[in-house]
Structure 1
Amino acid sequence: MLQVNIDSAVRTVFGKGPMRQLRMKDMTPANVYSGGTEPVPLQFETANLFKSLLFIHGRNAVITLKVDGDSKGERHVLVQEIQKDPITGSILHIDFLEVDLNKPLNFTVPVEYVGTAKGVDLGGELQVFKEAVSLRGCPLDIPDLIQADITSLEQGGPGLTYADLPVPTNVEMLEKPESVCVAVH
């Protein structure tokens, strides 16, 4: 899984007016939620935050927040929600979820089909039924992407199932193994 480091600081201002002033100083407010404890209010430099979020857009990523002024110092988080301005598209607020890197979680991982199927070369049509797979495992064990080779698929053949996908041994697949992901008709 992808890992990114982002610098932040503990936020000391709250409310509508102070948040606007914070954003005018090119800072973005955020909260870090952790199971059952009080949320930690943070602030980020908007340019650095936007660049980091753009890099991980649409991918599973563990973010290491280096928090200035926090007793923990570093927190491992996942992006939970990004609030944007509906007109300008600028980031208004972000919610992060703190995770334990040694506890398994559920993730959705995209599947990339590599190669050209034999059946397609012979005039068949490739039909993709599933473009992602649900996996459970420790965050750093989850792959960023699963690549499946489809060159051996023939027209009218059984197709590629979830059981045929190359999943790491320490990660559990949550899908039914007999479900067909891609086939040639």
Structure 2
Amino acid sequence: MIRKELTAVVRKSFGKGPMRRLRAAGNTPAIAYGGGKEALPLQFETKVLFQELVDLQGRNAVLTLKIDNGSERHVVVREIQADPVRDTLYHADFQEIDLDKEAVFTVPLEFVGKAKGVDFGGIQVIENNTIQLKGQPLSIPDSCQIDVRPLAIGDKVTAGQIALPQGASLVSDADTVCVTISAP
């Protein structure tokens, strides 16, 4: 799993007007919640937050928030709100996680190579492009690779056949088909 650090400032103003002024000053409001603690309103420098979140889009990542009050929180991104017209960040939600507790994560699948069956006229059909894994956050991979090169027409790869790193276990049904090479 990817790890990144971000610096944040505790936000003291609330409401529509103060949030507009905050955004106009180049900052983005956010909130960090969970972990049995009270929700913490934060603000980030928009440019820095945007660059970090674009880099992490669609990937599992643990962010360490270095907060100006001296505390530190380990979080995952739960929701990002953006203005669709101006393509700017509007708000971000972060959920605190415990790095020592197991949790369930959705992990994308990467299909590597060109199947042997495709060379002979077959069609590669991706049935599922994600699987669910359980484990401590830092033992969960960014993605799982499936080498499709040896697959012939009629072959398939199920979730149970995917090689998993140590410390991660499969939550998805092992018989779930991920990719097949079907006849034309």
For 2:76 and 2:176, locate their aligned partners in 1 and report how far apart those are by CA, in whole Å.
29
Give me the whole-angstrom Cα distance separating, in 1, the residues matched to 2:84 and 2:116.
Answer: 47
Q: Given that residues 31 and 94 in structure 2 are in contact (C-alpha distance below 8 angstroms), is that contact kept between their aligned partners in structure 1? A: yes
Runs of 4+ that moved beyond 2 A: none
Amino acid at match of 1:124: G
Map of 2:171 onto structure 1: 174
SS in 2 for 1:112: strand
For residues 13-162 of structure 1, what are the structure 2 equivalents within 5 Å?
A: 13-70=13-70, 73-157=71-155, 159-162=156-159
- Could you say what secondary structure the match of 2:51 adopts? helix
Q: 2:112 touches 2:147 (CA, 8 Å); kept in 1?
A: yes
- Report the more deviating stretch, 83-92 or 147-156: 83-92
User: How far apart are the structure 1 equivalents of 2:122 and 2:24?
Assistant: 57
CA distance in 1, matches of 2:24, 2:126: 46
- Distance, in Å, in 2 between the alignment partners of 1:35 and 1:66 is 16
Shift of 1:21: 1.2
Distance apart, 1:179 and its partner CA: 2.1
- Whichever residue aligns with residue 12 of structure 1, its letter is K
Identical-pair percentage: 46
Q: 2:73 and 2:64 mapped to 1: Cα distance?
A: 6
Aligned counterpart, 1:164: 161
- Residue identity matched to 2:164: V
TM-score if structure 2 supplies the norm length?
0.93
Cα offset, 1:105, TM superposition? 1.1
Instruction: Identify, as 1 or 2, the structure richer in strand.
Output: 2
Do the aligned residues in 1 keep the contact of 2:35 with 2:98 (CA within 8 Å)?
A: no
Query: Please, which runs of 5 or more residues in structure 2 have no aligned partner?
Result: none
Per-residue CA distance 1:95-135 (angstroms, 9 max, x = gap): 11011001111111111111222211222111111111111
- Counterpart of 1:148 in structure 2: which amino acid? I
Distance 1:87 1:123 in 2: 44
CA-CA distance at 1:87 after TM superposition: 2.6
